[in-house]
Chains A and B, each alone.
Chain A
Amino acid sequence: MVRFNESGPWLGEEGPDSDVVVSSRVRLARNLDGIPFVNRASDADRNEIVGMVRRTPLFATDGGSLRWIEMSDLDECDRQQLVERHLVSKQFADSSAARGVGVSEDESLSVMVNEEDHLRIQTLWTGSALTRAHEKVAAINRELESHLDFAFNPRWGFLTACPTNVGCGVRFSVMLHLPALRITDELERVRRSAKDLDLAVRGFHGEGTESTGDFFQISNQITLGISEDDLLQAFAEDVVPRLVDYERSARQLLMEKKLSTLEDRVHRAHGILGNARMLEANEAINLLSRVRLGVSLGLLESISIQEVHRLLLHVQPAHLSALKGVALEDDESTRVARANLVRGVVAGS
């Protein structure tokens, strides 16, 4: 069993703009020159890729900053925990070929090996911290570049298995909490303007997942014809603040015009979480989302954002299973265990 920290990097101390921005992530896609991409690679190729990455000083037993987690050594629960912690993608956890992930002590840095591309280098930070996350990822990239030869072509930039990720091969993304825009029924407008700005809007766990609890992952889709710095600037200084302001004005509007409705929503959710005897994962996340809104607006003071974040992680199936020894599947005993866990924090606080 893998030992994880009690919280993840996106659960730590409150970051900038954390009323709306839950976390910031920067991810680079890289492939080693001279070896077929993962989808055409033989088992020997995949093992070779793992070997080459692990021979870099990042993984050195003394002084290396990453510990190696071989996916085939993990049981289903541990693999899913990595997904819930946003350290690997769901597709990566479910694949069966040789693959693994390097994770730093504080989990702010991870390197997936043999996902869709040979390497997916990611940094994850709490709150709005794209610049900091990018500095870190760029430093790791430079370090890896001095030991590995990445597939690069002067015209297309860094070559990726999916041709639409070429160029910088960088994905900036933020996890936004947009509950007020849901209440004011403006999410569709957000989706449309995101599309006009060439942004991708995804759910809680990335590609193909639902936007449980009004959490949305917004990321750039353009990666070619623009430098990393310009992309970062446009995304972090224009796009994100615009979305944050949008949600904030919706919250302000609700505070001024619909305070009772808002208070009812928040306290009702808090009441259920503090009293329920059985909870499903999605129900718990949706209720915690309302509590989070209440805490951000100062309507609820008995629980902190960090406690809400920790619960958001721990109510998910694999974390709950690891914490409470219940099954991964949703059944009566897992719902009871989930409700007990939440009640202990919410009612006990």
Chain B
Amino acid sequence: MHKCDLCDKSAVLHDLVLEGSQWKPVHLCEDHAQAQGYPGSGEVTTTGKPVTEKPRTGTRKRLAACETCGLTLALFRRKGLLGCAECYRAFEPHLEPLIGRAQGGATYHCGHVPEQKEAHIDRRMSRIRLLKELNEAVSSEQYERAARIRDDLQLLEQKIEVEKD
């Protein structure tokens, strides 16, 4: 867990900024992230909105909840429904046997794959997704990957700017 660059609180926002020709990782707490003008406060979720229902903190519970939507394993077991796309990652070890049983043993997709028609896809959603990936990459210290994502993000933001005109 990273500390905020500007104070002792733990960082919830992870970003890379260009300093000269060097990408520099930035870690900020909720307050400082807001002060620096990052959109919304709190963790950037897949919707770009702050997490309203945060998973309870503490390492024991962290494994049993999806960090994106806050769904707990217990609640999933009760309702049988997942809360978001990220739940598939968060609960993968639990889902594997369950899906396998329901699907006659199959655990890999082999059907239609969507064509990524970049020109038409809602760019706002792509931006949110990239922000989230960036967040993940920086917090797990994969700086090279983060830099690539940052480039993509800048490109996308330029396109969004162009489209506004």
Instruction: Tell yes or no: B22 within 8 A of A by CB.
Output: no
Shortest Cβ distance from residue B15 to the other chain A in the assembled complex, whole angstroms: 18
Instruction: Tell yes or no: A157 within 8 A of B by CB.
Output: yes
Shortest Cβ distance from residue B132 to the other chain A in the assembled complex, whole angstroms: 8
Report the bound CA distance from A159 to B46 in whole Å: 15
- Contact with B115, one of A33, A145, A227, A231 (Cβ below 8 angstroms): A145
Stretch at the interface among A69-77, A99-107, A147-155: A147-155
Residues of B within 8 Å of A, CB-based: how many? 42
Instruction: Tell yes or no: A228 within 8 A of B by CB.
Output: yes
Instruction: Tell yes or no: B102 within 8 A of A by CB.
Output: yes
Instruction: Tell yes or no: A223 within 8 A of B by CB.
Output: yes
Query: Which chain A residue lies CB-closest to B46?
Result: A34
Instruction: Tell yes or no: B7 within 8 A of A by CB.
Output: no
Residues of A within 8 Å of B, CB-based: how many? 49
Instruction: Tell yes or no: B114 within 8 A of A by CB.
Output: yes
- Please give, as numbers and ranges, the residues of chain A lying within 8 Å of B99 by CB-CB distance: 156, 163-164, 166, 224
Question: Known: A37-B81, A164-B103, A226-B111. Contact between A153 and B88, CB under 8 A?
Answer: yes
Report the bound CA distance from A231 to B104 in whole Å: 13
Shortest Cβ distance from residue A229 to the other chain B in the assembled complex, whole angstroms: 8
CB <8 Å contact, B46 and A227: no
- Please give, as numbers and ranges, the residues of chain A lying within 8 Å of B111 by CB-CB distance: 157, 167-168, 170, 226-228, 231
Max chain A CB contacts within 10 Å: which of B46, B108, B111, B121? B111
CB <8 Å contact, B121 and A224: no
CB <8 Å contact, B107 and A37: no
Shortest Cβ distance from residue B4 to the other chain A in the assembled complex, whole angstroms: 26
How many residue pairs link A and B with beta carbons under 8 A? The number is: 138
Stretch at the interface among B27-35, B123-131, B140-148, B156-164: B123-131
Interface of B is mostly: loop
Instruction: Tell yes or no: A287 within 8 A of B by CB.
Output: no
- Contact with B102, one of A146, A154, A221 (Cβ below 8 angstroms): A221
Max chain A CB contacts within 10 Å: which of B46, B52, B110? B110
- Please give, as numbers and ranges, the residues of chain B lying within 8 Å of A138 by CB-CB distance: 112
- Contact with A149, one of B79, B98, B125 (Cβ below 8 angstroms): B125
Instruction: Tell yes or no: B10 within 8 A of A by CB.
Output: no
Within B78-104, which residues are at the interface with A (CB < 8 Å)?
79-85, 88, 95, 98-99, 102-104
CB <8 Å contact, B117 and A146: yes
- Please give, as numbers and ranges, the residues of chain A lying within 8 Å of B113 by CB-CB distance: 152, 154
Question: Known: A36-B46, A152-B114. Contact between A222 and B126, CB under 8 A?
Answer: no
Instruction: Tell yes or no: B122 within 8 A of A by CB.
Output: yes
Instruction: Tell yes or no: B109 within 8 A of A by CB.
Output: yes
- Contact with A148, one of B88, B104, B121 (Cβ below 8 angstroms): B121
Shortest Cβ distance from residue B117 to the other chain A in the assembled complex, whole angstroms: 4
Question: Known: A33-B129, A36-B46, A228-B112. Contact between A156 and B84, CB under 8 A?
Answer: no
Q: Which 9 A-B pairs have the closest CB atoms?
A: A225-B106, A157-B109, A40-B83, A164-B102, A168-B111, A151-B85, A224-B103, A227-B111, A36-B84
Report the bound CA distance from A33 to B130 in whole Å: 12
